[in-house]
Amino acid sequence: MSNYHVMKRSDGGWEDKREHADRAARVYENQKEAITGAEQHAHNSGGGEVKIHRSDNNQIREAYTIPPAKDPFPPKG
């Protein structure tokens, strides 16, 4: 389970970065692409939170949970 942050870069691009990582998972041209990428990364890594930061002051403006790709404890029957 990994959390990802979507943030604006100083060069004008957008990145999705795993929480506590030094480098971005990927760099995008716009925020919409970065959000989609962060959602995919969170989904594929067992679920987690996606936190979207504002472009003007970098504060978190929205956060939500992404379910895992596979349920580790599926219901029986």
pLDDT in tens, 39-69: 999 999 989 999 999 999 889 999 999 988 7
Give the model's confidence band at 75: pLDDT under 50 very low, under 70 low, under 90 confident, else very high: confident
8 Å CB contact between 13 and 29: yes
Specify if 75 maps to a domain. no
Specify if 33 maps to a domain. yes
Number of domains in the chain: 1
Amino acid at 13: G
Is the pLDDT score of 70 beyond 80? no
48: nearest Cα among 68, 70, 26: 68
30: nearest Cα among 5, 61, 9, 44: 9
Specify if 71 maps to a domain. no
Write out the residue range of the structural domain in which residue 46 sits.
Answer: 4-66
Model pLDDT, residue 72:
65
What pTM value is reported for the model? 0.86
Specify if 59 maps to a domain. yes
Tens digit of each residue's pLDDT (9 = 90 or more) over 9-37: 999 999 999 999 999 999 999 999 999 99
